Every structure is written in structure tokens, then in C-alpha cells.
């Protein structure tokens, strides 16, 4: 951490992810995709078995989640024992199973809010953790009240500080903790822009930052006039993703979480070169 921006490649082993659901639903397909991302420049692979798309209501059972992700972890590490893997889960039992299978990081989109055992579990496992900010659960996002542009950053900063101290109180070593503003998670589309513009202020919390802006709907919002006012397909959001990724890096991000690794790895090199003279 600190010598360059790290690229985290996303592997969704799900039939219903908002961005690539069903594309890599088998363990072999997902593992092959992960190995390609490593070859393209990924530093970390983030493996998830449950979609947290807006409107999602029914949680996946821990058993089914583990059936999806554990074979992928095993296959990737069998081919590339040096690969650094992250498990994208908010369930403590899945976190434990994944770390015991060889993953090294728990990426919890709830920031330890949705499973009361997660903080103590991660402390016992002595793994790295990513604590993401979210407001409410996916089925609540469309109905919760919006925020003014000047309210979003203070709220995220306050809540992440609480999540950080929950982790520290549980015994998680500070050097193992990364914070994520949670772009798109419980934020209305327009609310993500003032958050990204002021993201550097989150550095005051004293922790490395991760940003996941890849293919997000708030990017598509600004592209609609170029597409006749219609929604923008996922495969047409790559350029916007690169632009937002560079903005995040220039705003203090240490890790970028992306679906398309090669463009992000190239963009990160340019952004890092600029920051070397800042």
C-alpha cells in the first residue's frame, strides 16, 4: 500500500448482479475470468456470491453463498498460489470459510452493520478488512430521503468513523483496515458526485481508501443525453468508469475496484505519475 494505486478486479459468481450477472456463474468460468484479470494487471481479486443491487430483498443463505465462492477461491489459488483474494460478503460464516480457504481480505459492504459477529470474526481471523459505507439495505434505497449536496460527505465521514472504531474496539489492527465511501450504496444518483468531489477529505480518518465506481448508475445518468435520453448499457460505461476512476485516484483512493481491469490499470499508472509531482 502506498507505492501505487492497487487494482481490485471484481468476480461476481451470481446470476443477478447489476453489472455482469450470470456471465461467470460457474466456478470454472469465474476462476478463468479471475486469472485473466491477474494477467491484465489486477493486484487483488474480489469474489462475491450475492448481489447487492438496488431493490434486492431476499438475502442469500450463507450455505448457498459459500457453495458459489469457495470453489472459485480454491481454483484460483490452485493455479496462482500467490494471488491475493478478497471475499465480498457481509456474513461472518462466509468470511470465516473464505479466509480459511485462502482469501486474505473481507470486503463487507455493510461495514459490519448487517452481521453482529462480523467484527469479532475478522479480529479473530486477523485478516484485512474493507469497511464500506451504506445507507439502509438495498430494498430501502429507492424510498429513503435524499440528501443535500453539502450533507453527503459529512454523513459518510461520520458513519465511516463509527465503523472504524467498531473495528478497532473488536481488536482489528488499524493497519488492516481500508475504508470505502460506498458509491451507489444508499446514495441517490446525483449524491455520488459531491461525494467524489470531496473524497479527499476522508483521508482525515487516517485510513487507506477504496473506491468502487465501476459501471455505476450515477455514471450512466450523465451519459444519457449522448444516447438519446435512454439508459446506457453496461458495456457502454467503460469510458465513464475510467474518468471516474482517475478522479477517485486523484482524490486520494488507494485501491480501485473495477470490472474491466486493463483500462483501469492503465489509467491508474497515468494518475499515479501525475500524483508523483503533486
Rounded Cα–Cα distance for residues 274 and 79 (Å)? 35
10 grid coordinates: 471484481
- Rg for the chain, CA atoms, rounded: 17
Of 68, 96, 157, 257, which is the active-site residue? 257
Q: What is the dihedral of CA 119, 124, 129, 135, to 10 degrees?
A: -10
> What is the rounded CA–CA span in Å between residue 235 and residue 173?
39
**Cβ distance 39 to 81 under 8 Å?**
no
Closest Cα to residue 185, out of 130, 138, 252, 251?
A: 138
Alpha helices for the chain (secondary structure H): 27-40, 62-79, 92-101, 118-125, 149-170, 192-197, 217-223, 238-250, 261-275
Among 68, 157, 216, 237, the one annotated catalytic: 216
Helix axes 92-101, 62-79, angle to 10 degrees: 20
To the query of whether residue 257 is one of the catalytic residues in this protein, the response is yes
Catalytic residues: 216, 257
Amino acid at each position: 500500500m502506498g507505492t501505487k494505486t492497487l487494482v481490485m478486479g471484481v468476480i461476481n459468481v451470481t446470476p443477478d448482479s447489476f453489472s455482469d450477472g450470470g456471465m461467470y456463474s460457474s466456478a470454472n468460468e469465474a476462476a478463468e475470468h479471475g486469472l485473466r484479470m491477474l494477467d491484465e494487471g489486477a493486484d487483488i481479486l474480489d469474489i462475491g456470491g450475492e448481489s447487492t443491487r438496488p431493490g434486492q430483498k431476499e438475502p442469500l443463505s450463507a450455505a448457498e453463498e459459500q457453495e458459489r465462492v469457495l470453489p472459485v477461491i480454491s481454483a484460483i489459488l490452485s493455479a496462482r498460489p500467490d494471488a491475493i483474494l478478497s471475499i465480498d460478503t457481509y456474513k461472518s460464516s462466509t468470511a470465516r470459510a473464505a479466509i480459511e480457504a485462502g482469501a486474505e481480505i473481507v470486503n463487507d459492504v455493510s461495514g459490519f452493520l448487517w452481521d453482529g459477529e462480523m467484527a469479532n470474526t475478522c479480529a479473530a481471523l486477523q485478516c484485512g478488512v474493507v469497511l464500506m459505507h451504506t445507507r439502509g439495505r438495498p430494498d430501502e434505497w429507492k424510498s429513503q430521503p435524499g440528501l443535500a449536496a453539502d450533507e453527503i460527505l459529512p454523513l459518510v465521514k461520520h458513519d465511516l468513523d463509527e465503523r472504524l472504531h467498531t473495528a478497532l474496539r473488536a481488536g482489528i489492527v488499524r493497519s488492516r483496515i481500508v475504508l470505502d465511501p460506498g458509491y451507489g450504496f444508499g446514495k441517490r444518483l446525483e449524491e455520488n458526485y459531491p461525494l467524489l468531489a470531496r473524497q479527499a477529505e476522508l483521508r482525515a480518518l487516517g485510513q487507506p481508501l477504496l473506491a468502487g465506481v465501476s459501471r455505476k448508475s450515477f455514471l450512466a445518468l450523465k451519459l444519457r443525453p449522448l444516447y438519446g435520453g435512454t439508459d446506457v448499457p453496461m458495456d457502454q460505461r467503460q469510458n465513464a468508469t475510467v474518468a471516474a476512476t482517475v478522479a477517485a485516484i486523484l482524490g486520494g483512493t488507494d485501491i480501485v475496484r473495477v470490472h474491466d481491469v486493463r483500462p483501469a490499470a492503465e489509467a491508474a499508472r497515468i494518475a499515479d505519475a501525475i500524483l508523483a509531482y503533486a
